[in-house]
Amino acid sequence: MKRRGPSWLRPVVCLSGLLLAYYAFPLRLDTAPETALSVLVTALGLGALGWTLASELMHTRRGGETRSTRVLIFLLILLVMMFSLTFFLVNHVDPDQVAGLETRTDALYFTLSTMATVGYGDVHAEGQLARGLAIALIVFNVVVVASLAREHFGRGVGGPA
């Protein structure tokens, strides 16, 4: 019989690796094209992640077998990291986009408070690009993440079985 590790081990290792990559992401502003490329690649990554989560939603809506909780957690962690990096890069290029955002931790804090719809206000979107990204994150969170959670964990009270 194959011995399995604790069920929390993979998500913790995944989160640790993503945090390490997030904080280690090279950021050189020697030339504007390099920065623009970093923002573009990050945005493409967000698009790919969004597509993956939307595909997962469609798969479960068609009656396909739901994926494991670990896969959904992994995808949500990726989403948080990629949006945080996008906010950080956007604000690094134009410091007036997100008020109070100076570090990668600020960007992570802003992303999580936006996704949780807490919105403390100390770090907030001011520029149009940052507001557009925040709107996309909120809509994505409400529509896709809530739908995935509903499909994965049950339909809730009063819904069809």
Residue-level pLDDT, tens digit, the chain, 161 residues: 445 556 566 556 666 767 776 776 766 655 667 666 666 666 666 666 666 666 666 766 777 665 566 667 777 888 888 899 999 989 988 999 999 999 999 999 999 999 888 878 889 999 999 999 999 888 888 877 777 777 667 654 444 54
Contact predicate 22/16, CB 8 Å? no
Q: At residue 57, what is the residue type?
A: L
Does residue 61 lie within any of the structural domains?
yes
Residue 78: inside a domain = yes
State pTM to two decimals: 0.66
Q: Give Rg (Cα) of the chain.
A: 17
C-beta neighbour count of 94 within 10 angstroms: 12
- Domain count for the chain: 1
Give domain status of residue 11, yes or no: no
Residue 91 lies in a domain: yes
Domain contains 158: no
The rounded Cα 148 to chain-centroid distance in angstroms is 14
pLDDT at position 10, please?
57
On the 0-12 / 13-18 / 19+ scale of CB atoms within 10 A, 68 is: exposed
Q: What is the pLDDT of residue 155?
A: 53
In the prediction, which pLDDT does 158 show?
Answer: 47
21 within a domain of the structure (yes/no): no
Residue 113 is part of which domain span? 32-153
What CATH number should be reported for the domain holding residue 98?
A: 1.10.287.70
Looking at residue 87, its pLDDT comes to 93
In a domain, 23, yes or no: no
